[in-house]
Amino acid sequence: MKKIDKKILSQLMLDNQQPISEIGKKVGATRQTVAKRITQLKGSGIINSFTTRLNPEKIGLGTKAYIFLREDPKTELRRRNEVSIKRLQQVSKFYRLFGRYSAILEAWVRDDKELTNLVKKIHGLKGVQETETFIVHSTIKDKPEDPFLQALKPRN
C-alpha cells in the first residue's frame, strides 16, 4: 500500500465526514488525487463502507452481552445455526472460535427480558449444547479504529 493511501485512510478513520479538500491539505495531495485514491481504495475492497456509529444507550439499547456457544461439531448443524443466528437482529457480531466454545456472539438488547428471550431462541437451535452469557458492566474503551490507525502508521 502506498504511503499516501495510508495517510488518507488514517484521516478517514479519524473523521470520515471531513471534506476531501481538507484531507488533501493534511496529507499533502490535491483534492482530485485524494478523491481518486478513495475510489481506488473502495474498489479494491480496502474500504468496506462509510458508516455512522450510534450511542446504544441513547437509542434504548441498555444491555450489551457476549454469548459463548458450545455446539455439536457436525458441520451441517453449524451451518444451519449460522444462518439462523445471522438473522437475529440483536446479534451485532458472530465469530467462530477454536477452543472450549465454538462461537461467540455480541448482542445488544433493550433489557434483561429481551436478553433472556434471545438466549432462549439460541438454546432452541438444534445442536446448541450450552451457552454462557456475559453481561457488560461498563465500557472502558470502545475504539475499534485504534488497531487500524496503528497499522497505518509508518514503521520506524
What pLDDT shows up at residue 156? 73
Instruction: Tell me if 91 sits within 8 A of 107, measured CB to CB.
Output: yes
What pLDDT shows up at residue 88? 98
Amino acid at 83: V
Question: How long, in residues, is the chain?
Answer: 156
Q: Quick count: other Cβ atoms within 10 Å of Cβ 70?
A: 16
Q: How many Å apart are CA 13 and CA 11, to the nearest integer?
A: 5
What pLDDT shows up at residue 98? 97
What pLDDT shows up at residue 51? 87
What pLDDT shows up at residue 154? 87
Instruction: Tell me if 121 sits within 8 A of 81, measured CB to CB.
Output: no
Asked if the domains at 3-52 and 56-135 fall in one CATH topology, the answer is no
CATH code for 56-135?
3.30.70.920
Domain boundaries, the chain: 3-52, 56-135
Q: How many Å apart are CA 125 and CA 108, to the nearest integer?
A: 20
* Full pLDDT tens readout for the chain, 156 residues: 899 999 999 999 999 999 999 999 999 999 999 999 999 999 999 999 998 889 999 999 999 999 999 999 999 999 999 999 999 999 999 999 999 999 999 999 999 999 999 999 999 999 999 999 999 999 999 999 999 999 999 887
Q: pTM (2 decimals)?
A: 0.86
Q: What is the architecture of the domain spanning 3-52?
A: Orthogonal Bundle (1.10)
